Structure 1
Amino acid sequence: MLLENGRYTIQGLSVEEIAKQFGTPLYVYDASKIITQIKTLRSAFTGVDLRIKYAAKALTNVNILRVMKQQGIGVDVVSVNEARLAMHAGFTSADIMFTPSCVDFEEIKEAVDLGFAINLDSLPALEKFGQTYGHSKPCAIRINPGVMAGGNYKISTGHIHSKFGISIQQLPQILEVVNKYNIHINGLHVHTGSEVVDVDVFLKVADILFQTALHFKALDFIDFGGGFKVAYKEGDKITDIAALGKAISNALQNFSKTYGKPLQAWIEPGKFLVSEAGVLLVKSTVVKETPNLTFIGVNSGLNHLIRPMMYDAYHDVSNVSNQLAATKQYNVVGYICETDTLAAERDLPEVREGDILAIHNAGAYGYSMASNYNARFKPAEVLVEDGKARLIRKQESLEDLLRGQIL
């Protein structure tokens, strides 16, 4: 979303006009931004066989998945249902990496039957996989490197207290199970968390993977995960993708010589691809003055964007309707019967009842984590592609809330 001559636009289209056409609350995604992010990754990782696997949990609308498919990248899923959505969007089983956590083994068997690449993150799952398939089916192993990294504790996944992955300290047990059943391990995987800024953290984790890889003689790839930091406000420190790509590419090239064959480099960006591509458009429903604060109530809330309340996540906010007015300080709050602050202590151009506000960086973990709390409808979604805005999901109705209920 750009500010041009006093108005906000997406691919030249007025954001305010998009809100008028499709109503609010409304998620709007810019396909061109997604494509730009993919190109950024490809240009950064050079000299290696790079495989990008979009972390679908960030945003699973099949139209977004089709944009990914058209760009020739794969997809990383954490459930069979995510995989089925990806296949509906045109991905084949060969494009899909299945990385579950704490699922019933029956779901893993279903994923094997569907032909997905399998990535296991627990010793019990690895044991059952060996008992069931022996050497007949390959799988990767998700390693927990014991490294604390990421934006905050809730989105850090590689530390010793995380449920994710098999601890690197349990490597002897991993090797025991693998040798017992002669399991074909074709990849090693790690994901240390979200919003990792320091390139040295990625290199530290890569070195752990490389040392582990020496114990497995039939690897095809090393999966470095994702978690690349994007900007949420002006001045934010972000992951230097050019530096990261160069460092990881060089490290993998050097290790491949030691290993004896070139290994593919896999990465799994989710938020990096879609966060900045999405905005949530909401309407100001009330300007509520109190002795201490001025609240802007909007027709949305944590049921549509839970990240501020769940993660203390910062999302920039713009007044699309009155951008040139003098600024005042506001708390932007939702219509949910909970403490429901979307943005606190924000200086915004004067907000009037009925103004359209845009909540930025809403492409990742916005709609995908939305709920029907307070019996509210989930919003519509719009994709702007090739200079045209089109509806890609209708706003829900009462029939959607009643579907599946039995009287």
Structure 2
Amino acid sequence: MPNPTHIQGVSISALADEFGTPLYIYDGEKITSQVKTLQEAFSAVPLKIKFATKALSNINILKLIRKAGAGIDAVSIEEVKLGMMAGYSAEEIMYTPSGVAFEEIQEAVNLGIMINLDSLPLMEQFGQVYSNSVAACIRINPHIMAGGNLKISTGHKESKFGISIEQLPQILEAVAKYKLQIIGLHIHTGSDILDAEVFLRGGNVLFEAAVQFPDLKFLDFGGGFKVAYKPNDIATDVMEVGKKVGEAFQSFCKQYGRQLELWLEPGKFLVSEAGYLLVKTNVVKESTSVTFVGVDTGLNHLIRPMMYDAYHSLYNLSNPEGKKAKYNVVGYICETDTIASHRELNEVKAGDLLVIKNAGAYGYSMASNYNSRLRPAEVLIWEGQARQIRKREKFEDLIRNQEILEF
């Protein structure tokens, strides 16, 4: 796929002039088309999509995803509130906490949000307070190793997430003890999953457990669809996954005796490829062994390469026809801060604009003020227009909540 100079007819370089750099840019049409792709792939089953809000939580992105027909999965009470500000009803939100204070659970219940119970102690507390008065879901750890690397694998035996499938007897004991109203079961094995067989293995864990729960309304298969990061990279064939998982799901529903809903929680799949981080080159610095391209961003804005060893394609927007050379693209943070190593780019000069691709998921949402740097602006391209959806931070924002003492 060629490196874009325009998004929906909007010049990327003109965005740098209008909004400055670094700048997060999102292609709204790509986001909505990804929702439609999943809806098509799973068209044979009653499907509900719950966008993993943690991937990109700007209220305007949430509004756009709601417009496309998807709900959300929240992992904090703040994400729940962002979703409600974006227009989601309580029924369209699932709350999947991980080791949070029970007061946060109570706040979500008071808002009418369904809780995804992820530990036996939480089941006990929930049962003591609510008994069967509030419907809930249970997150099961299926003991399946899957995903691009250990840091994004969430369903293996030593993962903190969910309740071990080997503890199913204790789960059933708690359900019976407190007469819990369990209407859903959930798993999530990790991210960057290619093979439909992994989803089917997870599905079999759900199916075997589900027969013990007579009042289910849905089974949640989580997310984890892989997107392409490198040229000629392999992505999840969601049509194949939809066909195979859909067939297995419908077969189970016949065995269960009632049609259930199939839920999915895509995050990266919906927004990753829609996002670009536009940066400016500050300096081109040659050493005896490598040429560094220093840009006006770093791990404070895009931590994935440093935290997950994630690969992000990038290109020189300012010199698309220039002679190729290899560079290390590095940030301006006082830390090991390498965005790309030994990467072949068209010749880069100070002042050139570089575009970092696949920056829509876990880019801005994991950004920080490390080194007391300011976070960038965000722009959404929708219906051929660029709209700023978050202002660039100013120094005043950095100190807004500090109490300045006299010494």
In structure 1, which of residues 48, 55, 59 is the aligned counterpart of residue 52 of structure 2?
55
- The aligned counterpart of 2:331 is 334
- Give me the whole-angstrom Cα distance separating, in 2, the residues matched to 1:72 and 1:314: 30
Report deviation, 1:46. Answer: 2.1
Taking structure 1 as the reference length, the TM-score comes to: 0.98
Q: How does 1:6-405 map to 2 (within 5 A)?
A: 8-405=5-402
Percent identity of equivalent pairs? 60
Q: Which amino acid aligns with 1:281?
A: L
Q: Residues 3 and 9 of structure 1 are in contact (CA less than 8 Å); yes or no, is this contact kept in structure 2?
A: no
Matched to 2:202, the amino acid is: V
Counterpart Cα distance in 1 of 2:2 and 2:17: 18
The one-letter amino acid of 2:95's match is: F
1:115-151 Cα distance to aligned partner (Å, 9 max, x none): 0111011000011111111111111000000000000
Note if contact 1:302-1:334 (Cα within 8 Å) is conserved in structure 2: yes
8 Å contact kept, 1:222–1:264: yes
CA distance in 2, matches of 1:104, 1:2: 48
Check whether the contact 2:280–2:351 (CA below 8 A) recurs between aligned residues: yes
For the Cα contact (< 8 Å) 1:333–1:342, is it kept in 2? yes
CA–CA distance in 2 between the matches of 1:163 and 1:102? 9
Once the two structures are superposed, what CA deviation does each residue of 1:192-241 show, in whole Å capped at 9, x if it has no partner? 00111111010011001000000000000000000100000112121110
Give the Cα–Cα distance (whole angstroms) in 1 for the partners of residues 196 and 247 of structure 2. 13
Offset from partner CA, 1:138-188 (integer Å, 9 cap, x none): 110000000000000000000001000000000011011111011011000
Give 1:47 shift: 2.1
Amino acid at match of 1:352: K
Give the counterpart letter for 1:388 in structure 2: Q
- Partner SS state of residue 136, structure 1: coil
Contact preservation (8 Å) 1:322, 1:351 = yes
3-state SS of 1:342 partner: strand
- Which runs of structure 1 show a deviation greater than 6 angstroms over 4 or more consecutive aligned residues? none
Q: Which runs of 5+ in 1 are unaligned?
A: none
Amino acid in structure 2 at the alignment position of 1:390: R
What amino acid is the match of 1:285?
N
8 Å CA contact retained: 1:378, 1:396: yes
Structure 1 position 267, deviation (Å): 0.2
Structure 2 residues not aligned, in runs of 5+: none
Three-state SS of the structure 2 residue aligned to 1:282 is: strand
Structure 1 residue 2 displacement after superposition: 5.4
CA distance in 2, matches of 1:206, 1:20: 49
Give per-residue Cα distances to partners, 1:311-347, cap 9 Å, x unaligned.
0000001100001101000000000000100011100
State the superposition RMSD in angstroms: 0.9
**Residue type of the alignment partner of 1:318:** Y
- Structure 1: distance between partners of 2:241 and 2:231: 22
Alignment coverage as a number of residue pairs = 404
Deviation at 1:302, TM superposition (A): 0.1
2:3–2:315 CA contact under 8 A, matched in 1: no
Tell me the SS of whatever aligns to 1:84.
Answer: helix
1: CA distance, partners of 2:92 / 2:217: 15
Q: Distance in 1 between matches of 2:265 and 2:109?
A: 20
SS at match of 1:383: strand
